[in-house]
Amino acid sequence: MLNKTPTEVIIKTLSKIPGNIKVTFISAFIFGLLTHLFMLTNSLPNHDEALYLVGNLEWAASVTGRWFMPYVAAISSKFSMPWVNGLLSMLYISVSACFIVSIVQVEKKIYCALISGIMVTIPTVASIFAYMQHADPYFFCLMLVCFAAFLSERYKYGYIIAIIPIVLSLAIYQAFFGVVVALLILVLILEVLDNQTTWQKTVFKGIRFVGTLGVSMIMYLATVRILYPDGFDIEYQDLNQMGQLSLSDLPLRIITAYKEILKFFVLDIRNFHYSFINFVFVLSFVACGVLIALLCIKKKIHKEPLKLLLLSALLLLFPLGCNIVYLMGPVTIHDQMVYGTIFIFVFLIIVVDMCTNNGLFETPHKKRIADKITSISSWIITLTIVMTMFNYWIVSNQAYFKLNIGYQTAYAQSVLLMSHIQSMPGYTYDMDIVLVGSAPEWQGIPELDQITVYGALGPEQFGSWTYPHFLRNYLNITQNVVHLRFNNLWTGVFSDDEFIINALDIVRDMPRYPDSGSIVIIDNVIYVRFITDYALTYL
């Protein structure tokens, strides 16, 4: 390599990359930009992003056990820059898609593009982009788990080496553990469908995979215990209970995992889909079942009862693997945690690709009913994926639209609030500001409430718990701002209960902002009484 120029090395390296991998990477990047360009070229903060605009998420280590996240976040610098964080995220997702295509050996370029497209358009990506500072570490985590699955499938002892990237991925974002579980189950399913080995070898490979996953989880939990012997600082989304699942809870959680994946596709519990597309999903699942049955006949799997039984068991486990996050501890599973669901779509695409590769469209008798059924089933699945990608493109940009309106509303109302404060007689810039209660959630577009992608907030950011940071980071209000919401004193120099009681007593009978008299200056402290009484009723 040293006797060749960089140009020669790059050209030779690129020439060795298979065409389907090139298409996968390029299509993932293009689909990603087409879907998320507005978010990547605008600063659209939600409540958390207002707080974590600067920093490498060091807090995440002790609070959530994500001790590797700060190091990955540092790659994009300590600033949350949408274009940088977003492009790095697109790079990581594109590489992840290449690993997946290589693992499942999809050859047709159209199906490679569809896998890429569904991976970058699912609204889980938009939900993560709403927390832009977290985006590139999360998708680096995705790349790690896909790499782990690639190692496990491709190399003889890869399942041992794969433990390292899985442990690191858990130390970034535990919810993506479901991705590697789903991929490894998918590898076993495809091995059975290919019918080139005995069912015993597939079972032994599955046992090795289970060992990889189990050892990885144990090693991760061990690192957390070593690094944080006193446990997490706070109980964040029940992550402090990870690894402590009671056996008596296991049946209910398994049932919940299956129910939730059914709700995702049939009932649209996350409000991701057009009203008609749930019916299309059902058609696609039926079509997929038909294609699997034809593959079993083509490969003579139906003549091997034990192999057919193994296939049935793996197909039954697959949805659970995609939704294994429901078994990992957290009680509340939000949109960012369900990325594993994407592999239901990926599986549909893979089945169509396998049918093409196994000659189900190349029988000499074109009028055979099996040929027609195969062709119709493949068209149903392909069109379903295309419609779903378009659907997700719309939903993702609705989320960005809501974030944009919410930011503009919060910014405009904040400017107005500070104008009222600074016009008070006797105001000086060194005064502390105490905001009591939650700010009103002005909603000029009530239809925005229908957009429910997690993290895409509207005007409620104006009264969020991170509002003082919004004033500091987006309006350059550097004086001390205290926000009393419920029983929490989120920021400021005041820390004693006596101050809180005095503040509540002062504003108790005041009009509510923005009414006249809702802002007062007492003892060089500015008090603003917002519209709700949560803080007032606490004491």
Domain boundaries, the chain: 6-235+256-400, 413-538
Model confidence band, residue 360 (pLDDT cutoffs 50, 70, 90): low
In the sheet where 525-529 sits, what is the strand order?
Answer: 488-489, 481-485, 432-436, 525-529, 519-522
Is the bond preceding residue 514 a cis peptide, omega within 30 degrees?
yes
pTM here is 0.91
The answer to whether residue 359 scores a pLDDT higher than 80 is no
Mean pLDDT of 128-153: 95
Contact of 272 with 387, CB cutoff 8 Å: no
The answer to whether residue 218 scores a pLDDT higher than 60 is yes
The pLDDT value given to residue 5: 82
Contact of 139 with 86, CB cutoff 8 Å: no
Please name every residue paired with 521 in a beta bridge, in sequence order, or none if there are none: 526
Mean pLDDT of 472-479: 91
Least confident span in 42-56, 132-146, 190-204, 394-408: 42-56
Contact of 164 with 492, CB cutoff 8 Å: no
The pLDDT value given to residue 94: 97
Query: What HEC string does 131-167 produce?
Result: CHHHHHHHHHHHHHHHHHHHHHHHCCCHHHHCHHHHH
Measured distance CA(297)–CA(76) in Å, rounded? 51
Contact of 350 with 192, CB cutoff 8 Å: no
Q: What share of the chain has pLDDT > 90, as a percent?
A: 55
Choice between 514 and 537, residue whose per-residue pLDDT is larger = 514
Q: Which amino acid is at 401?
A: F
Choice between 35 and 409, residue whose per-residue pLDDT is larger = 35
The answer to whether residue 233 scores a pLDDT higher than 50 is no
Q: Which alpha helices (DSSP H) does 358-461 contain, by range?
A: 369-422
Measured distance CA(503)–CA(526) in Å, rounded? 10
Structure tokens of 6? 């960089």
Highest mean pLDDT among 158-167, 251-260, 489-498 belongs to 158-167
Distance of CA 144 to the CA centre of its chain: 15
DSSP letter string, 332-366: ---GGG-GGGHHHHHHHHHHHHHHHHTTTT--S-T
The answer to whether residue 68 scores a pLDDT higher than 80 is yes
Distance of CA 379 to the CA centre of its chain: 29
Residues for the chain: how many in total? 539
Nearest to 413 by CA among 535, 531, 511: 531
Model confidence band, residue 121 (pLDDT cutoffs 50, 70, 90): very high
The answer to whether residue 228 scores a pLDDT higher than 90 is no
List, for residues 1-45, the tens digit of each pLDDT value. 667 788 878 888 888 888 899 999 999 999 999 999 999 999 998
The pLDDT value given to residue 489: 43
The pLDDT value given to residue 506: 84
Measured distance CA(327)–CA(392) in Å, rounded? 27
Measured distance CA(24)–CA(93) in Å, rounded? 10
Max CA separation in the chain (angstroms)? 93
